[in-house]
Structure 1
């Protein structure tokens, strides 16, 4: 049982909502059916509205049952997930004009009662979720990266840009790029992992990907293996990182660029499938192999970016193709050179992370034309020069007071010069009042302060002070 201060797990919270919805529909659908019978006799227009309402609820019910199945798989509740998978097509095809909804109502109520709840979830379920939280960082293992790389045809003679929005230590992206004439770009939020990645990748932005500044349409391929967070955020939001990373990163690919999207198969929800089908063509999915799949349930989805279009009709069959993991081909079956990267050279003008990164700053300064122009010096600027005209007395005073001519002067009579400015005060007395005998009875003294330039000169003959 969850304690009051325990984490709120996404899958459990979702199933709690599904349970309430299924129970409510179990109660209300028979009521709608009786109303439909009533209005069929008295008000055809009202009957049509009730019919359309039941049709809408039937569609929603089937969709929610599919989402419940994915959450159950995340919890490791395979038996209940199998029940949900069996119920979904039956609900979608349930005859609205069936005379009795009681059996449907009983099934929904019973299924709702069986769903795990945050307050009553078993220790085994909570344990699996806690392990999932601890292992939110899943680096792709070298064997699977090798299979992914084999399935990509890199264009000869073209340097391609490959990007990982959550690159970790950079191992996977480095392995994919090695020997394929690639520039590697990664973003990593953890500073320690980012430091490791900087040893392996060409460019690393440190900090959150969502606050980084990176050029759009600048990369030929993107390896996206987002963190799989299982808990709600601090304000209770339910946005999954795998969806947000996909939605906010795909625009960095050029059109025709390749997406490699790695997630647990039960995280491929209808909204994620819709993003993929709206923006990518030639979508395929391959599951990880052996113990790696048993441990993390990961699949790799491949697709090439296309102009955005409505992919609603494509999303459903794409989802259906991965409903049963056993029917998803293994990654080792990905044909060699299955996806060809565009033979189009592309620059990456903007690549900045949130956290100050000295290595990245040095690269940006080196590439800054405006800065180099500011710092550039011509041969004339760097050479010693004499004034075109002799200095006047005022200019000599300014230069001497500023210290620019201090030091050793090598000439026929070597000497050391030290110029400085001192404050000089002069006094003037004025008799302003006299008595009848002509004697001063009031004198005004006026003091005037001024800056005075003094040159101290040390010569072989001795010391001199000039003012």
Structure 2
């Protein structure tokens, strides 16, 4: 039932605020440090805002970045997230080795026979990707999906702990929270961790501590300070509203039209070409309006015509002759004057 509901909502399961509150009880940041927070499935931005408020209370300086592919939710998230993109992460250009905290609550569904949770985790935690080494990763997925991501987690994360949602929400969501730090690449795979996660995916909820288990005085995960600024965070998709915004802010269309005018006429005179113009160039100039149709007492009409030619060729293999017909399009300028017309070819 939960799976069907998830697919009906596009796999979107926002983290309940009370569960997020328990998640954050184990997360701290260095006093006064600038922290770059990345949520690539930001929804309406409520979780990102909750994370930021939590870290601000810890005297940190969080800067939040979010991505949401569903446009209605993305529009709402703009007011909650410092930097927000309405696209998929595949269509975004983002600085590498820049983020110190990834909160990942991916869609709960299959995409072409592969769990979406696995695809998102693989792409967003890849070596030399968006995360700096040692950054904190919090993964929110259904418990049974642990088997699908176990190998990746065992290769890419360390100091891993897993909790389940509280009794209030577990039966509805069947979700678990995975905490861990991004490992440096080239360290191999923690086979014991992989086996533990695979087994955990099949066990009952009683095998896991709930998020409200009060161990946060002993268990904490510190978000490291931002190592480098996020210099690139932009969508590669150009929407009509982006063009309108550019026009309002910088007169984008005026600059485009000015460039078009610049290549047409300057000070009432044509620009000198690098080489003499051929008839084809002149035809294009007349057809585009760059050259006037009236010159002196003559009318210029530019056109393309098909020229038919025939020739006899001898086949070198058998010595027989064959007729070869060709049709070639040629540009023509026909000038009309008092004396008649003349074709320039």
| TM-score, L = length of structure 2 | 0.63
**Does 1:335 pair with 2:212?**
no
Higher Cα Rg, which structure: 1
Answer yes or no: is the 8 Å Cα contact 1:287–1:328 preserved in 2: yes
Q: Equivalent residue for 2:262?
A: none
**Does 1:134 pair with 2:8?**
yes
User: Quick one: distance in 2 between partners of 1:353 and 1:184?
Assistant: 16
Query: Among residues 248, 259, 263, which one is paired with 2:141 in the alignment?
Result: 263
**Does 1:356 pair with 2:238?**
yes
More relative contact order, 1 or 2 (CA 8 Å, 6+ apart): 2
| 1:330, distance to aligned residue in structure 2 (A) | 0.9
Structure showing the higher helix proportion among its residues: 1
- Which string of whole-angstrom CA distances, capped at 9 and with x for unpartnered residues, describes residues 54-99 of structure 1? xxxxxxxxxxxxxxxxxxxxxxxxxxxxxxxxxxxxxxxxxxxxxx
| 1:325, distance to aligned residue in structure 2 (A) | 1.7
Query: Among residues 20, 24, 37, which one is paired with 1:149 in the alignment?
Result: 24
Q: Could you say what secondary structure the match of 2:114 adopts?
A: coil
Q: Structure 1 unaligned segments of length 5 or more: list them.
A: 1-126, 367-397, 403-422, 426-467
User: Quick one: distance in 2 between partners of 1:346 and 1:253?
Assistant: 11
Q: Could you say what secondary structure the match of 1:183 adopts?
A: strand
| 1:291, distance to aligned residue in structure 2 (A) | 2.7
**Structural mapping, 1:182-197, within 5 Å:** 182-197=62-77
**Structure 1 pair 128/305, CA: closer, same or farther in 2 (3 Å)?**
closer
User: Quick one: distance in 1 between partners of 2:18 and 2:177?
Assistant: 13
Answer yes or no: is the 8 Å Cα contact 1:205–1:354 preserved in 2: no
Structure showing the higher strand proportion among its residues: 2
**Structure 1 pair 257/360, CA: closer, same or farther in 2 (3 Å)?**
farther
**Structure 1 pair 129/139, CA: closer, same or farther in 2 (3 Å)?**
closer
User: Quick one: distance in 2 between partners of 1:217 and 1:303?
Assistant: 17
| 1:301, distance to aligned residue in structure 2 (A) | 0.4
| 1:161, distance to aligned residue in structure 2 (A) | 0.4
User: Quick one: distance in 2 between partners of 1:200 and 1:129?
Assistant: 28
Q: Structure 2 unaligned segments of length 5 or more: list them.
A: 250-265, 270-294, 298-345
User: What RMSD, in angstroms, separates the aligned Cα atoms of the two structures?
Assistant: 3.1
**Does 1:286 pair with 2:163?**
yes
- Which string of whole-angstrom CA distances, capped at 9 and with x for unpartnered residues, describes residues 351-379 of structure 1? 1224336679989xx9xxxxxxxxxxxxx
Answer yes or no: is the 8 Å Cα contact 2:133–2:183 preserved in 1: yes
User: Quick one: distance in 1 between partners of 2:233 and 2:208?
Assistant: 36
**Does 1:218 pair with 2:104?**
no
User: Quick one: distance in 2 between partners of 1:201 and 1:185?
Assistant: 6
- Which string of whole-angstrom CA distances, capped at 9 and with x for unpartnered residues, describes residues 151-209 of structure 1? 11111121100001111111101111122421110111011111111111111121111
Answer yes or no: is the 8 Å Cα contact 1:286–1:330 preserved in 2: yes
| TM-score, L = length of structure 1 | 0.48
Answer yes or no: is the 8 Å Cα contact 1:208–1:354 preserved in 2: no
Q: Could you say what secondary structure the match of 1:331 adopts?
A: coil
| 1:129, distance to aligned residue in structure 2 (A) | 4.5
Q: How many residues align?
A: 244
**Does 1:311 pair with 2:193?**
no
Answer yes or no: is the 8 Å Cα contact 2:68–2:87 preserved in 1: yes
